[in-house]
Protein backbone atom coordinates (compact mmCIF):
# COMPACT_ATOMS: atom_id res chain seq x y z
CA UNK A 1 0.00 0.00 0.00
CA UNK A 2 1.20 3.53 -0.83
CA UNK A 3 0.24 6.77 0.94
CA UNK A 4 -2.29 7.79 -1.73
CA UNK A 5 -5.96 7.85 -0.79
CA UNK A 6 -6.40 5.16 -3.43
CA UNK A 7 -3.09 3.46 -2.60
CA UNK A 8 -4.36 0.12 -1.25
CA UNK A 9 -3.48 -2.02 -4.26
CA UNK A 10 -0.25 -0.18 -5.03
CA UNK A 11 3.20 -1.20 -3.84
CA UNK A 12 5.37 1.34 -5.67
CA UNK A 13 5.28 5.02 -4.95
CA UNK A 14 5.08 7.22 -8.07
CA UNK A 15 7.97 9.55 -8.79
CA UNK A 16 7.24 13.19 -7.95
CA UNK A 17 7.42 14.27 -11.56
CA UNK A 18 4.87 11.61 -12.53
CA UNK A 19 2.56 12.86 -9.76
CA UNK A 20 3.04 16.38 -11.07
CA UNK A 21 1.99 15.33 -14.57
CA UNK A 22 -1.15 13.58 -13.35
CA UNK A 23 -2.25 16.29 -10.97
CA UNK A 24 -4.96 18.83 -11.64
CA UNK A 25 -4.75 20.74 -8.36
CA UNK A 26 -2.89 23.63 -10.00
CA UNK A 27 -6.06 24.53 -11.89
CA UNK A 28 -9.00 22.70 -10.30
CA UNK A 29 -8.47 24.50 -7.00
CA UNK A 30 -10.72 27.28 -8.34
CA UNK A 31 -13.57 24.83 -7.73
CA UNK A 32 -12.72 24.44 -4.02
CA UNK A 33 -15.85 26.25 -2.86
CA UNK A 34 -18.04 24.16 -5.16
CA UNK A 35 -16.35 20.96 -4.01
CA UNK A 36 -17.12 21.82 -0.38
CA UNK A 37 -20.73 22.75 -1.25
CA UNK A 38 -21.19 19.44 -3.04
CA UNK A 39 -19.75 17.56 -0.06
CA UNK A 40 -21.98 19.43 2.38
CA UNK A 41 -25.08 18.46 0.40
CA UNK A 42 -23.86 14.88 0.03
CA UNK A 43 -23.16 14.40 3.73
CA UNK A 44 -26.47 15.98 4.66
CA UNK A 45 -28.16 13.40 2.47
CA UNK A 46 -26.07 10.59 4.02
CA UNK A 47 -27.32 11.68 7.45
CA UNK A 48 -30.89 12.22 6.29
CA UNK A 49 -31.12 8.75 4.74
CA UNK A 50 -29.44 7.09 7.74
CA UNK A 51 -26.51 5.86 5.64
CA UNK A 52 -24.34 7.69 8.19
CA UNK A 53 -25.39 8.34 11.77
CA UNK A 54 -26.49 11.90 12.42
CA UNK A 55 -23.51 12.33 14.75
CA UNK A 56 -21.11 11.32 11.99
CA UNK A 57 -22.81 13.57 9.48
CA UNK A 58 -22.66 16.48 11.93
CA UNK A 59 -18.97 15.92 12.58
CA UNK A 60 -18.20 15.88 8.86
CA UNK A 61 -20.41 18.92 8.28
CA UNK A 62 -18.64 21.01 10.89
CA UNK A 63 -15.29 19.92 9.48
CA UNK A 64 -16.39 21.03 6.02
CA UNK A 65 -17.58 24.36 7.40
CA UNK A 66 -14.20 24.86 9.02
CA UNK A 67 -12.54 24.15 5.66
CA UNK A 68 -14.86 26.63 4.02
CA UNK A 69 -13.72 29.31 6.48
CA UNK A 70 -10.08 28.46 5.95
CA UNK A 71 -10.62 28.69 2.21
CA UNK A 72 -12.23 32.13 2.48
CA UNK A 73 -9.35 33.26 4.70
CA UNK A 74 -6.82 32.00 2.15
CA UNK A 75 -5.45 29.51 4.65
CA UNK A 76 -5.65 26.36 2.53
CA UNK A 77 -2.41 25.25 0.95
CA UNK A 78 -2.91 22.67 -1.75
CA UNK A 79 -0.33 20.09 -2.72
CA UNK A 80 0.40 18.24 -5.93
CA UNK A 81 0.99 15.12 -3.84
CA UNK A 82 -2.78 15.01 -3.31
CA UNK A 83 -3.46 15.19 -7.03
CA UNK A 84 -6.67 17.18 -7.28
CA UNK A 85 -9.09 19.38 -5.37
CA UNK A 86 -11.18 16.44 -4.20
CA UNK A 87 -8.30 14.51 -2.63
CA UNK A 88 -6.68 17.67 -1.23
CA UNK A 89 -9.85 18.64 0.58
CA UNK A 90 -10.50 15.11 1.80
CA UNK A 91 -6.97 14.98 3.20
CA UNK A 92 -7.47 18.33 4.93
CA UNK A 93 -10.79 17.17 6.32
CA UNK A 94 -9.11 14.09 7.76
CA UNK A 95 -6.47 16.30 9.37
CA UNK A 96 -9.29 18.30 10.99
CA UNK A 97 -11.72 15.60 12.16
CA UNK A 98 -9.86 12.32 11.95
CA UNK A 99 -10.84 9.07 10.32
CA UNK A 100 -14.61 9.79 10.27
CA UNK A 101 -13.76 12.01 7.28
CA UNK A 102 -13.31 8.78 5.36
CA UNK A 103 -17.06 8.21 5.54
CA UNK A 104 -17.79 11.28 3.40
CA UNK A 105 -16.92 9.35 0.24
CA UNK A 106 -19.62 6.72 0.91
CA UNK A 107 -21.80 6.29 -2.18
CA UNK A 108 -19.69 8.78 -4.11
CA UNK A 109 -16.87 8.66 -6.62
CA UNK A 110 -14.57 11.39 -7.81
CA UNK A 111 -16.21 10.85 -11.18
CA UNK A 112 -19.60 12.15 -10.13
CA UNK A 113 -17.92 14.56 -7.73
CA UNK A 114 -15.81 16.32 -10.37
CA UNK A 115 -18.74 16.51 -12.76
CA UNK A 116 -20.85 18.04 -10.00
CA UNK A 117 -18.15 20.57 -9.19
CA UNK A 118 -17.89 21.73 -12.79
CA UNK A 119 -21.66 21.92 -13.15
CA UNK A 120 -21.88 23.97 -9.96
CA UNK A 121 -18.99 26.18 -10.95
CA UNK A 122 -20.59 27.07 -14.28
CA UNK A 123 -24.08 27.27 -12.82
CA UNK A 124 -22.80 29.94 -10.40
CA UNK A 125 -21.16 31.92 -13.18
CA UNK A 126 -23.67 31.88 -16.01
CA UNK A 127 -25.80 34.57 -14.30
CA UNK A 128 -22.69 36.77 -14.20
CA UNK A 129 -22.17 36.23 -17.92
CA UNK A 130 -25.81 37.09 -18.59
CA UNK A 131 -25.50 40.24 -16.48
CA UNK A 132 -22.35 41.31 -18.33
CA UNK A 133 -24.10 40.84 -21.69
CA UNK A 134 -27.09 42.84 -20.45
CA UNK A 135 -24.74 45.56 -19.34
CA UNK A 136 -23.17 45.87 -22.79
CA UNK A 137 -26.59 45.73 -24.43
CA UNK A 138 -27.72 48.58 -22.18
CA UNK A 139 -24.75 50.67 -23.27
CA UNK A 140 -25.43 49.97 -26.94
CA UNK A 141 -29.07 50.88 -26.51
CA UNK A 142 -28.28 54.16 -24.79
CA UNK A 143 -25.81 55.07 -27.53
CA UNK A 144 -28.26 54.00 -30.24
CA UNK A 145 -30.89 56.31 -28.73
CA UNK A 146 -28.46 59.22 -28.75
CA UNK A 147 -27.36 58.43 -32.29
CA UNK A 148 -30.65 57.37 -33.87
CA UNK A 149 -30.15 60.15 -36.44
CA UNK A 150 -26.37 60.16 -36.76
CA UNK A 151 -25.67 59.51 -40.43
CA UNK A 152 -22.76 57.33 -41.44
CA UNK A 153 -21.79 55.30 -44.48
CA UNK A 154 -23.08 51.75 -44.55
CA UNK A 155 -20.64 49.29 -46.08
CA UNK A 156 -20.59 46.09 -48.01
CA UNK A 157 -17.20 44.69 -49.06
CA UNK A 158 -15.87 47.62 -46.96
CA UNK A 159 -16.97 49.86 -49.87
CA UNK A 160 -19.48 52.65 -49.30
CA UNK A 161 -22.89 51.17 -50.03
CA UNK A 162 -25.81 53.20 -48.68
CA UNK A 163 -26.11 55.71 -45.84
CA UNK A 164 -27.27 54.31 -42.51
CA UNK A 165 -27.27 55.66 -38.98
CA UNK A 166 -24.79 54.90 -36.27
CA UNK A 167 -27.79 54.05 -34.09
CA UNK A 168 -28.90 51.43 -36.59
CA UNK A 169 -25.38 50.02 -36.71
CA UNK A 170 -25.24 49.74 -32.90
CA UNK A 171 -28.58 47.97 -32.82
CA UNK A 172 -27.18 45.29 -35.13
CA UNK A 173 -24.74 44.45 -32.32
CA UNK A 174 -27.56 44.68 -29.80
CA UNK A 175 -29.33 41.95 -31.79
CA UNK A 176 -26.25 39.74 -31.94
CA UNK A 177 -25.80 40.08 -28.19
CA UNK A 178 -29.47 39.26 -27.73
CA UNK A 179 -28.86 35.92 -29.41
CA UNK A 180 -25.74 35.44 -27.29
CA UNK A 181 -27.85 36.12 -24.23
CA UNK A 182 -30.43 33.56 -25.28
CA UNK A 183 -27.73 30.98 -25.98
CA UNK A 184 -26.16 31.39 -22.54
CA UNK A 185 -29.61 31.39 -21.00
CA UNK A 186 -30.28 28.03 -22.65
CA UNK A 187 -26.83 26.88 -21.52
CA UNK A 188 -28.26 27.02 -18.00
CA UNK A 189 -30.70 24.21 -18.75
CA UNK A 190 -28.00 21.63 -19.39
CA UNK A 191 -25.76 23.03 -16.67
CA UNK A 192 -28.54 22.81 -14.14
CA UNK A 193 -28.39 18.99 -14.04
CA UNK A 194 -27.02 17.13 -11.04
CA UNK A 195 -24.62 14.22 -11.72
CA UNK A 196 -23.94 13.43 -8.04
CA UNK A 197 -25.26 10.07 -6.90
CA UNK A 198 -24.16 8.34 -10.11
CA UNK A 199 -21.01 7.25 -8.27
CA UNK A 200 -18.21 5.85 -10.45
CA UNK A 201 -20.41 4.95 -13.42
CA UNK A 202 -23.20 2.56 -12.48
CA UNK A 203 -24.98 4.11 -9.52
CA UNK A 204 -24.68 2.85 -5.97
CA UNK A 205 -25.95 0.12 -3.69
CA UNK A 206 -26.58 2.60 -0.87
CA UNK A 207 -30.13 3.94 -0.42
CA UNK A 208 -29.21 7.49 -1.44
CA UNK A 209 -31.65 10.28 -2.17
CA UNK A 210 -30.49 12.14 -5.25
CA UNK A 211 -33.50 14.42 -5.34
CA UNK A 212 -32.65 15.57 -1.84
CA UNK A 213 -29.13 16.51 -3.01
CA UNK A 214 -30.47 18.22 -6.12
CA UNK A 215 -32.75 20.30 -3.93
CA UNK A 216 -29.92 21.12 -1.50
CA UNK A 217 -27.68 22.33 -4.32
CA UNK A 218 -30.55 24.08 -6.07
CA UNK A 219 -30.30 22.01 -9.25
CA UNK A 220 -33.39 22.20 -11.45
CA UNK A 221 -33.04 18.58 -12.55
CA UNK A 222 -30.72 15.58 -12.37
CA UNK A 223 -29.16 13.13 -14.78
CA UNK A 224 -31.27 10.02 -15.26
CA UNK A 225 -28.48 7.82 -16.54
CA UNK A 226 -25.39 7.27 -14.42
CA UNK A 227 -23.10 6.63 -17.40
CA UNK A 228 -24.20 9.83 -19.07
CA UNK A 229 -23.93 11.77 -15.81
CA UNK A 230 -20.22 11.10 -15.35
CA UNK A 231 -19.28 11.30 -19.05
CA UNK A 232 -21.24 14.30 -20.23
CA UNK A 233 -19.42 17.55 -20.90
CA UNK A 234 -21.98 18.97 -23.35
CA UNK A 235 -22.79 21.78 -20.95
CA UNK A 236 -19.14 22.84 -20.99
CA UNK A 237 -18.97 22.54 -24.79
CA UNK A 238 -22.12 24.60 -25.13
CA UNK A 239 -20.55 27.23 -22.93
CA UNK A 240 -17.37 27.29 -25.01
CA UNK A 241 -19.34 27.36 -28.23
CA UNK A 242 -21.56 30.20 -27.03
CA UNK A 243 -18.47 32.05 -25.89
CA UNK A 244 -16.76 31.55 -29.25
CA UNK A 245 -19.75 33.05 -31.05
CA UNK A 246 -19.92 35.92 -28.57
CA UNK A 247 -16.23 36.63 -29.10
CA UNK A 248 -16.75 36.56 -32.86
CA UNK A 249 -19.30 39.37 -32.40
CA UNK A 250 -17.01 41.40 -30.16
CA UNK A 251 -14.14 40.82 -32.55
CA UNK A 252 -16.11 42.23 -35.48
CA UNK A 253 -17.03 45.26 -33.42
CA UNK A 254 -13.41 45.57 -32.32
CA UNK A 255 -12.23 45.49 -35.93
CA UNK A 256 -14.55 48.34 -36.84
CA UNK A 257 -13.53 50.46 -33.88
CA UNK A 258 -9.89 49.94 -34.82
CA UNK A 259 -10.53 50.97 -38.42
CA UNK A 260 -12.74 53.87 -37.46
CA UNK A 261 -10.25 55.35 -35.04
CA UNK A 262 -7.58 55.42 -37.76
CA UNK A 263 -6.52 58.70 -39.38
CA UNK A 264 -8.11 57.65 -42.66
CA UNK A 265 -11.57 57.04 -41.20
CA UNK A 266 -11.51 59.28 -38.15
CA UNK A 267 -15.16 58.42 -37.35
CA UNK A 268 -14.56 57.91 -33.64
CA UNK A 269 -12.06 58.58 -30.92
CA UNK A 270 -11.66 56.14 -28.05
CA UNK A 271 -11.54 57.56 -24.52
CA UNK A 272 -8.00 57.79 -23.13
CA UNK A 273 -8.88 55.08 -20.63
CA UNK A 274 -9.37 52.58 -23.43
CA UNK A 275 -6.30 53.41 -25.49
CA UNK A 276 -2.56 53.35 -24.98
CA UNK A 277 0.42 55.38 -26.16
CA UNK A 278 3.65 54.38 -27.81
CA UNK A 279 7.00 54.21 -26.06
CA UNK A 280 8.69 55.87 -29.03
CA UNK A 281 6.07 57.80 -31.04
CA UNK A 282 4.65 60.62 -28.92
CA UNK A 283 1.62 61.22 -31.15
CA UNK A 284 0.22 57.70 -30.88
CA UNK A 285 -3.09 56.69 -29.44
CA UNK A 286 -3.48 52.99 -30.03
CA UNK A 287 -6.72 51.00 -29.74
CA UNK A 288 -4.97 48.26 -27.73
CA UNK A 289 -8.04 47.02 -25.88
CA UNK A 290 -10.13 46.55 -28.98
CA UNK A 291 -7.15 44.75 -30.53
CA UNK A 292 -6.76 42.59 -27.45
CA UNK A 293 -10.39 41.51 -27.55
CA UNK A 294 -9.97 40.73 -31.25
CA UNK A 295 -6.87 38.71 -30.33
CA UNK A 296 -8.50 36.93 -27.40
CA UNK A 297 -11.12 35.63 -29.81
CA UNK A 298 -8.43 33.17 -30.92
CA UNK A 299 -8.18 31.90 -27.38
CA UNK A 300 -11.95 31.36 -27.15
CA UNK A 301 -12.01 29.50 -30.48
CA UNK A 302 -9.01 27.45 -29.43
CA UNK A 303 -10.62 26.49 -26.13
CA UNK A 304 -13.71 25.23 -27.94
CA UNK A 305 -11.60 23.17 -30.35
CA UNK A 306 -9.52 21.88 -27.44
CA UNK A 307 -12.45 20.43 -25.54
CA UNK A 308 -14.23 19.14 -28.64
CA UNK A 309 -11.05 17.30 -29.49
CA UNK A 310 -10.57 15.98 -25.96
CA UNK A 311 -14.09 14.61 -25.88
CA UNK A 312 -13.91 13.03 -29.29
CA UNK A 313 -13.92 9.21 -29.15
CA UNK A 314 -13.79 8.92 -25.36
CA UNK A 315 -15.43 5.61 -24.55
CA UNK A 316 -18.03 5.63 -21.79
CA UNK A 317 -17.76 6.34 -18.97
CA UNK A 318 -15.11 8.47 -17.17
CA UNK A 319 -11.60 8.57 -18.60
CA UNK A 320 -8.75 10.67 -17.31
CA UNK A 321 -8.74 12.59 -20.58
CA UNK A 322 -11.65 14.44 -19.07
CA UNK A 323 -9.43 16.09 -16.51
CA UNK A 324 -8.49 18.26 -19.48
CA UNK A 325 -11.99 19.76 -19.52
CA UNK A 326 -11.50 22.52 -16.99
CA UNK A 327 -8.82 24.98 -18.00
CA UNK A 328 -10.59 25.91 -21.22
CA UNK A 329 -13.79 26.60 -19.34
CA UNK A 330 -12.06 28.70 -16.68
CA UNK A 331 -9.99 30.58 -19.23
CA UNK A 332 -12.94 31.27 -21.49
CA UNK A 333 -14.98 32.56 -18.58
CA UNK A 334 -12.22 35.03 -17.66
CA UNK A 335 -11.84 35.99 -21.31
CA UNK A 336 -15.48 36.75 -22.01
CA UNK A 337 -16.09 38.55 -18.73
CA UNK A 338 -13.07 40.79 -19.31
CA UNK A 339 -13.97 41.40 -22.94
CA UNK A 340 -17.59 42.26 -22.16
CA UNK A 341 -16.55 44.68 -19.43
CA UNK A 342 -13.95 46.35 -21.63
CA UNK A 343 -16.50 46.79 -24.40
CA UNK A 344 -19.15 48.21 -22.08
CA UNK A 345 -16.69 50.85 -20.90
CA UNK A 346 -15.26 51.49 -24.34
CA UNK A 347 -18.58 51.85 -26.15
CA UNK A 348 -20.01 54.16 -23.49
CA UNK A 349 -17.03 56.50 -23.52
CA UNK A 350 -15.96 56.84 -27.14
CA UNK A 351 -16.48 60.10 -28.99
CA UNK A 352 -18.41 59.98 -32.24
CA UNK A 353 -17.25 62.41 -34.93
CA UNK A 354 -20.73 62.95 -36.29
CA UNK A 355 -19.83 65.58 -38.90
CA UNK A 356 -17.03 63.49 -40.28
CA UNK A 357 -19.25 60.41 -40.48
CA UNK A 358 -22.02 62.30 -42.27
CA UNK A 359 -19.57 64.04 -44.61
CA UNK A 360 -18.26 60.65 -45.66
CA UNK A 361 -21.65 59.96 -47.25
CA UNK A 362 -21.88 63.06 -49.43
CA UNK A 363 -19.31 62.62 -52.22
CA UNK A 364 -19.22 58.86 -52.36
CA UNK A 365 -22.15 58.14 -54.73
CA UNK A 366 -23.81 56.15 -51.95
CA UNK A 367 -27.06 57.80 -53.08
CA UNK A 368 -26.91 56.03 -56.44
CA UNK A 369 -29.53 53.53 -55.31
CA UNK A 370 -31.83 56.48 -54.46
CA UNK A 371 -31.66 57.73 -58.03
CA UNK A 372 -32.21 54.24 -59.43
CA UNK A 373 -35.21 53.76 -57.07
CA UNK A 374 -36.52 57.18 -58.16
CA UNK A 375 -36.47 56.11 -61.81
CA UNK A 376 -37.98 52.73 -61.00
CA UNK A 377 -40.79 54.49 -59.15
CA UNK A 378 -41.43 56.42 -62.39
CA UNK A 379 -42.02 53.14 -64.17
CA UNK A 380 -38.58 52.51 -65.65
CA UNK A 381 -37.57 48.85 -65.14
CA UNK A 382 -35.06 48.72 -62.27
CA UNK A 383 -32.35 47.04 -64.38
CA UNK A 384 -32.55 49.89 -66.90
CA UNK A 385 -32.59 52.47 -64.10
CA UNK A 386 -29.50 50.80 -62.64
CA UNK A 387 -27.65 51.14 -65.96
CA UNK A 388 -28.67 54.79 -66.42
CA UNK A 389 -27.43 55.70 -62.94
CA UNK A 390 -24.27 53.65 -63.43
CA UNK A 391 -23.37 55.79 -66.41
CA UNK A 392 -24.10 58.97 -64.47
CA UNK A 393 -21.83 57.73 -61.68
CA UNK A 394 -19.05 57.10 -64.19
CA UNK A 395 -19.51 60.62 -65.54
CA UNK A 396 -19.59 62.01 -61.99
CA UNK A 397 -16.35 60.27 -61.06
CA UNK A 398 -14.67 61.79 -64.13
CA UNK A 399 -15.96 65.32 -63.47
CA UNK A 400 -15.79 64.97 -59.66
CA UNK A 401 -19.47 65.83 -59.36
CA UNK A 402 -21.66 63.91 -56.96
CA UNK A 403 -25.16 63.09 -58.24
CA UNK A 404 -26.89 65.70 -56.06
CA UNK A 405 -24.67 68.43 -57.55
CA UNK A 406 -25.37 67.58 -61.20
CA UNK A 407 -27.59 70.03 -63.04
CA UNK A 408 -31.14 69.04 -63.92
CA UNK A 409 -30.12 69.23 -67.61
CA UNK A 410 -27.36 66.69 -67.07
CA UNK A 411 -29.71 64.39 -65.20
CA UNK A 412 -32.46 64.77 -67.78
CA UNK A 413 -30.00 64.05 -70.57
CA UNK A 414 -29.50 60.70 -68.90
CA UNK A 415 -33.24 60.18 -68.64
CA UNK A 416 -36.06 62.69 -69.27
CA UNK A 417 -38.21 61.20 -66.50
CA UNK A 418 -35.99 62.95 -63.95
CA UNK A 419 -37.57 66.11 -62.53
CA UNK A 420 -36.56 68.76 -60.00
CA UNK A 421 -38.11 66.80 -57.14
CA UNK A 422 -35.24 64.30 -57.47
CA UNK A 423 -32.88 66.44 -55.38
CA UNK A 424 -34.99 66.00 -52.27
CA UNK A 425 -34.37 62.28 -52.49
CA UNK A 426 -30.63 62.44 -52.98
CA UNK A 427 -29.60 63.63 -49.53
CA UNK A 428 -28.27 61.07 -47.04
CA UNK A 429 -31.04 62.01 -44.59
CA UNK A 430 -33.65 61.24 -47.25
CA UNK A 431 -31.92 57.98 -48.14
CA UNK A 432 -32.01 56.95 -44.48
CA UNK A 433 -35.49 58.14 -43.67
CA UNK A 434 -37.12 56.60 -46.71
CA UNK A 435 -35.95 53.19 -45.52
CA UNK A 436 -38.90 52.55 -43.28
CA UNK A 437 -39.29 48.90 -44.22
CA UNK A 438 -39.35 46.66 -41.16
CA UNK A 439 -35.80 46.42 -39.86
CA UNK A 440 -34.65 49.32 -42.10
CA UNK A 441 -32.40 52.18 -41.04
CA UNK A 442 -34.96 55.07 -40.94
CA UNK A 443 -34.64 57.20 -37.82
CA UNK A 444 -38.17 56.40 -36.68
CA UNK A 445 -37.39 52.68 -37.03
CA UNK A 446 -34.25 53.01 -34.95
CA UNK A 447 -36.18 54.92 -32.29
CA UNK A 448 -38.87 52.24 -32.23
CA UNK A 449 -36.23 49.52 -32.00
CA UNK A 450 -34.65 51.29 -29.04
CA UNK A 451 -38.03 51.18 -27.31
CA UNK A 452 -38.38 47.49 -28.15
CA UNK A 453 -34.84 46.81 -26.89
CA UNK A 454 -35.55 48.61 -23.62
CA UNK A 455 -38.58 46.45 -23.12
CA UNK A 456 -36.53 43.30 -23.71
CA UNK A 457 -34.04 44.40 -21.07
CA UNK A 458 -36.74 45.51 -18.63
CA UNK A 459 -38.46 42.12 -18.91
CA UNK A 460 -35.34 40.20 -17.80
N1 LIG B 1 -9.04 15.22 -11.16
C2 LIG B 1 -9.95 14.37 -11.83
C3 LIG B 1 -10.58 15.14 -13.00
O4 LIG B 1 -10.47 16.30 -13.01
C5 LIG B 1 -11.04 13.93 -10.91
C6 LIG B 1 -11.70 12.66 -11.32
C7 LIG B 1 -10.76 11.53 -11.13
N8 LIG B 1 -11.37 10.29 -11.32
C9 LIG B 1 -10.66 9.20 -11.60
N10 LIG B 1 -11.32 8.09 -11.76
N11 LIG B 1 -9.39 9.25 -11.73
O12 LIG B 1 -11.17 14.57 -13.89
Residue 281's pLDDT band (cuts 50, 70, 90): confident
3-state secondary structure of 43: helix
Supply φ then ψ for residue 450, to 5 degrees: -65, -40
CA distance 44 to 212: 9
CA of 128 to the centre of ligand 1 (A): 27
CA distance 350 to 229: 47
Residue 22's pLDDT band (cuts 50, 70, 90): very high
Answer for the pair 122, 235: CB distance below 8 angstroms, yes or no: yes
pLDDT in tens, 156-213: 999 999 999 999 999 999 999 999 999 999 999 999 999 999 999 999 999 999 999 9
Length of the chain (residues): 460
With a 6 A CB cut-off, is 111 part of the ligand 1 pocket? yes
CB-based contacts of 370, cutoff 8 Å, min separation 6: 425, 426, 430, 431, 434
Catalytic residue (one of 53, 62, 262, 278): 278
Position 62 pLDDT exceeds 90: yes
- The lowest-confidence range among 15-24, 70-79, 168-177, 398-407 is 15-24
Which pLDDT score, from 0 to 100, does residue 54 have?
98
Position 337 pLDDT exceeds 90: yes
Which pLDDT score, from 0 to 100, does residue 23 have?
97
Q: Residues 218-234: what's their mean pLDDT?
A: 98
Q: Residues 67-78: what's their mean pLDDT?
A: 98
Beta pairing class for 351-352 and 268-269: antiparallel
CA of 328 to the centre of ligand 1 (A): 16
CA of 109 to the centre of ligand 1 (A): 9
Cis peptide before 6 (omega within 30 of 0): no
Average pLDDT, the chain: 97
Could you give the ipTM of this predicted complex?
0.98
Which pLDDT score, from 0 to 100, does residue 176 have?
98
Full set of structural domains in the chain with CATH:
7-106 (1.10.275.10), 111-147+163-189+217-355 (1.20.200.10), 368-458 (1.10.40.30)
Q: Which parts of 73-218 fold into alpha helices (H)?
A: 85-97, 110-146, 166-191, 210-216
Burial environment of residue 15 by CB neighbours within 10 A (0 to 12, 13 to 18, 19 or more): exposed
Which pLDDT score, from 0 to 100, does residue 4 have?
82
Residue 29's pLDDT band (cuts 50, 70, 90): very high
Which pLDDT score, from 0 to 100, does residue 182 have?
98
Supply φ then ψ for residue 263, to 5 degrees: -55, -40
DSSP state of 385: H
Answer for the pair 20, 60: CB distance below 8 angstroms, yes or no: no
CA distance 69 to 71: 5
Which pLDDT score, from 0 to 100, does residue 419 have?
97
Residue 111 Cα distances to 167, 187, 318, 328, angstroms = 50, 22, 7, 19
With a 6 A CB cut-off, is 204 part of the ligand 1 pocket? no
Atom of ligand 1 nearest to the CA of 83: 1
With a 6 A CB cut-off, is 77 part of the ligand 1 pocket? no
CA distance 87 to 83: 7
Q: Residues 42-59: what's their mean pLDDT?
A: 98
Q: Residues 341-362: what's their mean pLDDT?
A: 98
Q: What share of the chain is helix, strand, coil (3-state, %, to 5)?
A: 65, 5, 30
CA of 23 to the centre of ligand 1 (A): 9
Atom of ligand 1 nearest to the CA of 200: 10
Pocket test of ligand 1: the residue of 25, 110, 119, 311 to mutate, having most ligand atoms within 8 Å of its CB, is 110
CA of 323 to the centre of ligand 1 (A): 6
Q: Residues 407-412: what's their mean pLDDT?
A: 97
Residue 159's H or E segment, with its range, is strand 159-165
With a 6 A CB cut-off, is 84 part of the ligand 1 pocket? yes
Residue 368 Cα distances to 356, 383, 385, angstroms = 20, 13, 10
Position 278 pLDDT exceeds 90: no
Beta pairing class for 151-156 and 159-165: antiparallel
Number of other residues whose CB lies within 10 A of the CB of residue 438: 6
CA distance 109 to 128: 30
CA distance 10 to 206: 27
With a 6 A CB cut-off, is 39 part of the ligand 1 pocket? no
278 is catalytic: yes
CA of 71 to the centre of ligand 1 (A): 21
Which pLDDT score, from 0 to 100, does residue 14 have?
84
Catalytic residue (one of 157, 279, 407, 437): 157
Which pLDDT score, from 0 to 100, does residue 235 have?
98
Encode 134-146: b = buried (16+ Cβ within 10 Å), e = exposed: bbbbbbbbbbbbe
> First vs last Cα of the chain: how many Å apart?
56
Residue 269's H or E segment, with its range, is strand 268-269
Q: Could you give the percent of the chain with pLDDT greater than 90?
A: 94
With a 6 A CB cut-off, is 322 part of the ligand 1 pocket? yes
Position 3 pLDDT exceeds 90: no
Residue 2's pLDDT band (cuts 50, 70, 90): confident
CA of 8 to the centre of ligand 1 (A): 18
Which pLDDT score, from 0 to 100, does residue 9 have?
87
- The C-alpha angle with vertex 247 and arms to 244 and 253, in degrees rounded to 5, equals 150
Which pLDDT score, from 0 to 100, does residue 229 have?
98
With a 6 A CB cut-off, is 199 part of the ligand 1 pocket? no
Which pLDDT score, from 0 to 100, does residue 356 have?
98
Which pLDDT score, from 0 to 100, does residue 142 have?
98
77 is catalytic: no
pLDDT in tens, 108-124: 999 999 999 999 999 99
CA distance 359 to 153: 9
Pocket test of ligand 1: the residue of 26, 30, 81, 320 to mutate, having most ligand atoms within 8 Å of its CB, is 320
CA distance 167 to 354: 12
Is the dihedral angle over the CA atoms 444, 450, 454, 455 positive or is it negative? positive
Q: Could you give the percent of the chain with pLDDT greater than 70?
A: 100
Amino acid sequence: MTDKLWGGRFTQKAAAWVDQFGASITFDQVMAQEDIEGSLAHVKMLGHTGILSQAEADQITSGLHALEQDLAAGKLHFTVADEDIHLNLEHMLTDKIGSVAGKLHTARSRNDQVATDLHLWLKHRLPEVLAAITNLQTVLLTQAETHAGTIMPGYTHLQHAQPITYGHYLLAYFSMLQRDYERFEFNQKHTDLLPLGSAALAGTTFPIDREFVAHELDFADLYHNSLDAVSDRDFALEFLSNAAILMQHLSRLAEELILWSSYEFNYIELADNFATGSSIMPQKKNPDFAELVRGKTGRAYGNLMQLLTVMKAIPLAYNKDMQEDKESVFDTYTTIMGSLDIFSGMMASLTVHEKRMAAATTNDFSNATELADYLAAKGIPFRQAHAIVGELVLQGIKTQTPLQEMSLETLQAANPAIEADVYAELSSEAAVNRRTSLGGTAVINVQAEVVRGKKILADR
